[in-house]
Amino acid sequence: MKARRVVITGLGLVTPLGLGVDSNWQALLAGRSAISQITRFDPAGFPTRIAGEIRNFDVQQFIDRKEARKMDLFVQYAIAAAELAVQDSGIDTALLQGERTGVYVGSGIGGIGSIEETHRVLLEKGPDRVSPFFIIQTIINEAPGHISIRYRASGPNLANATACSTGAHAIGEAFRMIQLGLADRMIAGGAEAPITPLSLAGFCNMKALSERNDEPEKASRPFDARRDGFVMSEGAGIVLLEELDSALKRGARIYAEVLGYGLNGDAYHVTAPSPDGDGAARVMMMALRDGRVNPEDVQYINAHGTSTQYNDKTETLAVKKVFGERAKKVGVSSTKSMTGHLLGAAGGVETAITALAIFHQVMPPTVNYEFPDPECDLDYVPNVARPAEIIHALTNSFGFGGTNACLLLKKFT
Helix 142-151, helix 73-89: angle, nearest 10: 40
Rounded alpha-carbon distances, angstroms, from residue 22 to 18, 90, 91, 167: 9, 15, 19, 21
At residue 284, what are phi and psi to the nearest 5 degrees? -65, -40
Is there a contact between 188 and 176 (Cβ–Cβ < 8 Å)? no
Q: How far is CA 106 from the centre of its chain?
A: 10
Query: Rounded to the nearest 10 degrees, how much is the dihedral formed by the CA atoms of 168, 8, 258, 376?
Result: -50
- Write down the pLDDT at residue 2: 80
Q: Give the whole-angstrom CA distance, residue 169 versus residue 105.
A: 9
- Write down the pLDDT at residue 69: 93
Q: Which residues are catalytic?
A: 164, 304, 341
One-letter-per-residue 3-state SS of the chain: CCCCCEEEEEEEEEECCEECHHHHHHHHHHCCCCCEECCCCCCCCCCCCEEECCCCCCHHHCCCHHHHCCCCHHHHHHHHHHHHHHHHHCCCHHHHCECCEEEEEECCCCCHHHHHHHHHHHHHHCHHHCCCCHHHHHCCCHHHHHHHHHHCECCCEECCCCHHHHHHHHHHHHHHHHHCCCCCEEEEEEEECCCCHHHHHHHHHCCCECCCCCCHHHCCCCCECCCCCECEECEEEEEEEEEHHHHHHCCCCCCEEEEEEEEEECCCCCCCCCCCCHHHHHHHHHHHHHCCCCHHHCCEEECCCCCCHHHHHHHHHHHHHHHHHHHHHCEEECCHHHHCECHHHHHHHHHHHHHHHHHHCEECCECCCCCEECCECCECCECCCEECCCCEEEEEEEECCCEEEEEEEECCC
Q: Give the whole-angstrom CA distance, residue 117 versus residue 204.
A: 20
Q: Give the whole-angstrom CA distance, residue 256 versus residue 355.
A: 6
- Write down the pLDDT at residue 1: 66
Q: Give the whole-angstrom CA distance, residue 320 versus residue 132.
A: 52
Q: Give the whole-angstrom CA distance, residue 406 versus residue 263.
A: 7
Amino acid letter, 394:
L
Q: How far is CA 109 from the centre of its chain?
A: 13
Amino acid letter, 31:
G
Question: What is the per-residue burial (b if ≥16 Cβ within 10 Å, else e) of 149-183?
Answer: ebbebbbbbbbbbbbbbbbbbbbbbbbbbbbeeeb
Tens digits of residue pLDDT in 23-69: 999 999 999 999 999 999 999 999 999 999 999 899 999 999 999 99
- Write down the pLDDT at residue 204: 97
Amino acid letter, 241:
L
- Write down the pLDDT at residue 289: 98
Rounded alpha-carbon distances, angstroms, from residue 291 to 180, 263, 310: 14, 13, 29
Q: Is the pTM of this model over 0.95?
A: yes
At residue 321, what are phi and psi to the nearest 5 degrees? -65, -40
Tens digits of residue pLDDT in 246-280: 999 999 999 999 999 999 999 999 988 889 999 99
Q: Give the whole-angstrom CA distance, residue 87 versus residue 94.
A: 13
Q: Give the whole-angstrom CA distance, residue 386 versus residue 363.
A: 5
- Write down the pLDDT at residue 199: 97
Which ranges of the chain have pLDDT less than 70?
Answer: 1
- Write down the pLDDT at residue 236: 98
Q: Which domains does the chain have, with CATH numbers?
A: 7-249 (3.40.47.10), 260-410 (3.40.47.10)
